[in-house]
Amino acid sequence: MRGSGRKTKGSSSVSSANMGMPVEVQIWRLSVLFLAGIAVNILFQAYTAFRGVFRPKRFGRHFLDIIFSLAILGAATAVVFLVNWGELRFYVALSIILGFWFSNYLVGELVYSIAYRGFNLGKKGGRWTKSKVIVPSGRFITQTGTKARNWLFPPIPPEEGPEDGRTTDDTHNKGPDDEPQDSDPLDGGPHRTM
């Protein structure tokens, strides 16, 4: 009965599992991995445009490179696990690399220029916002706060002195022991009196 060619009640599922994966699923996996390669290239072009506009310093540049690389590696790993159940085959790497290369060849410069313009516009917009909105608002808040503080807690006015503008404090004529000193302009300076 086994070799007779008749199908029994569960034999079709066993035979299809032994035959391998359907071609449609393989094409779908290749397509998704190819699109993942395109997405990686677009993100890479946007990242290089970001670095071109903002020009981070040496440490910042290396730090951003590490963060970007880890993010791309994590995203690619997640796609491989979701699409291919984590099986690493030659076609996985090949389809991602082909997607990256294809995207770089056809639209790499276009994506870079659009991202560069966008980041440059964002940088100029940030500078304009800082100079026209944030700094004047800060000045307004500081001035309003000062006026409110002076209104709520008025400063203590200075004591009034003689009309000629001199102070009434006579400490400048006292010596080291707070004793009055004589000063004769002809004798060279103040002397102690007894």
Q: Of the ranges 90-99, 142-151, 155-164, which one carries the lowest mean pLDDT score?
A: 155-164
pLDDT in tens, 113-144: 999 999 999 999 999 998 988 888 889 899 99
Mean of pLDDT values over 64-91:
89
What is the band of 14 on the pLDDT scale with cuts at 50, 70, 90?
A: very low
Mind giving me the DSSP string for 155-176? PPPPPP--TTS--S--GGGB-T
Contact between 34 and 83 under an 8 Å Cβ cutoff? The reply is no
What is the band of 68 on the pLDDT scale with cuts at 50, 70, 90?
A: very high
Round to whole Å and give the CA distance between 142 and 136.
Answer: 10
What is the band of 6 on the pLDDT scale with cuts at 50, 70, 90?
A: low
